[in-house]
Amino acid sequence: MSEEKRIEQGYRWAREQYAGWGVETERALERLNGVAVSLPCWQGDDVGGFERAGGGGGDLGGGGIAATGRYPGKARSLGELRSDLEAALRLIPGMHRVNLHACYLDNGGRFVERDAIGAEHFGSWIEWAQGQGTGLDFNPTFFGHPQAAEGFTLSHRDAGVRKFWVAHGRACRRIAAAMGRELGRACVNNVWIPDGYKDLPVDRKGPRERLAEALDAVFAERLDERWVVDSVEGKLFGIGVESYTAGSHEFYLGYAATRGKWLCLDTGHFHPTEAVSDKISAVLGFVPGLLLHLSRPVRWDSDHVVILDDELVAIAREVVRGGYLERVRLGLDYFDASINRVAAWVIGARGVLKAVLEALLEPTARLEQMEREGDYTGRLALLEEAKGLPWGAVWDEYCRRRGVPAGEAWLEAARRYEVEVLSRRV
């Protein structure tokens, strides 16, 4: 039996199994087609960027940013990075997005200061995305720069430093709006800063007051919300700022709720015992939308490649159960240099899509009915039995329909790309 016939036969059986639970697999696959995962460009070159000739962003500027590993094949140019992204996208079913940092501009080999960057420096990225049929997301780069050397940017006590970073933030919003307009789909522009203290501060209020004022200045210009979505991202602490982070989760939750901004929840930016899945319905009652940066915090914000673990499945279930797919953007956020970087994108994105598919295939209506009727025994029993449903056969069918390898077959293609392309980078 051919692989295609095996997949088709497995899917017919799975469809019957799910039908017995009141779940339509075709409807689930249709909805999964509309789910896009944003791939972090920084996974391809270890957060180096291309501000200077030869690539490499130099000192990453603290804040917990540290790519670990020396696996061969790191992208050394925009061309190599785009080639690697294309290789990954060919192995991920569906149409997806690429998330860019400002330091990945195309400056033609001539240095451009961050407060002077414009859409013209990302024109080649827009053209590339149009050719690939992908969307783009964007991030100002508030690290790896002399003006961030003291560990503070938008909350710096020096008004001149704040002015520089406000100008950078404004420029990035315009770039994101141009990306969204040219590609015909909204670009999320996500603001994260590394500001904080290594040791205990006396004044915790001052930096946060300055940060709120600076953010208001960044967002002062009215831009078309059809093309740019503003998001803010908090963090628990970082390497070098272990004792105090100005932009904490509580700060940005309050800011997003009062300013009507999207909130970004990064799964690595909380205490290890906190579950981001539990925050989704709480947050979306007060902010217009949610950006989820998905990482795997083995030891806090360690940025391991996303896998199909319990928390990822729980996050997907909360998004689907709450009817939030239209108000949530899903993005990967890690940079693992210890394994094949292209494979890292593929593993993470396929893991997210599998989690969403599992959630779409859940017999939620039956579970909710039991809950309404107070049948908590039945609810728990059904949740456990549902774990044995053949969602894997439905996943294989989705891959077949989207023209990408099912099962482990994608790994062969990734390894072939490594031999033919990555291994030649020395």
| % helix, strand, coil for the chain, step of 5 | 50, 10, 40
| Structural domains present in the chain | 35-361 (3.20.20.150)
Residue 301 is a catalytic residue: yes
Q: Please state whether 355 falls in left (phi above 0), alpha (psi between -120 and 50) or beta.
A: alpha
Active site residue 5: no
- pLDDT tens digits, 280-304: 999 999 999 999 999 999 987 888 9
- Helix or strand (DSSP H, E) at 187: strand 187-191
Q: Is 396 a catalytic residue?
A: no
Average of pLDDT values for 273-278?
94
Q: What is the pLDDT of residues 91-123, one digit of tens each?
A: 999 999 999 999 999 999 999 999 999 999 999
- Catalytic pick from 301, 318, 336, 397? 301
User: Is residue 272 very low, low, confident or very high in pLDDT (cuts 50, 70, 90)?
Assistant: confident
**Catalytic one of 80, 84, 233, 396:** 233
Tell me the pLDDT tens digit for each residue of 392-419: 999 999 999 999 999 999 999 999 999 9
Beta bridge partners of 83: none
Active-site hit among 96, 261, 269, 304? 269
- Quick check: is 271 catalytic? no
Give per-residue pLDDT as tens, 213-246.
999 999 999 999 999 999 999 999 888 899 999 9
The count of other CB atoms within 10 Å of the CB of residue 387 is: 9
Give the active site residue among 42, 128, 165, 192: 192
Q: What is the pLDDT of residue 16?
A: 97
pLDDT at residue number 67: 84
Is 192 designated active site? yes
Which tens digit of pLDDT belongs to each residue from 37-88?
A: 999 999 999 999 999 865 544 445 555 577 888 999 999 999 999 999 999 9
Residue-level pLDDT at 265: 98
Would you state the pLDDT for residue 58? 44
* Residue 158 a catalytic site member: no
Which of 96, 101, 235, 279 is an active site residue? 235
Out of 74, 168, 293, 304, the active site residue is: 293
Q: What percent of the chain has pLDDT over 90?
A: 91
Q: What tens digit of pLDDT does each residue of 315-351 get?
A: 999 999 999 999 999 999 999 999 999 999 999 999 9
* pLDDT score for 57: 47
Q: Catalytic: which of 137, 303, 397, 418?
A: 303
- Give catalytic status of residue 303 as yes or no: yes
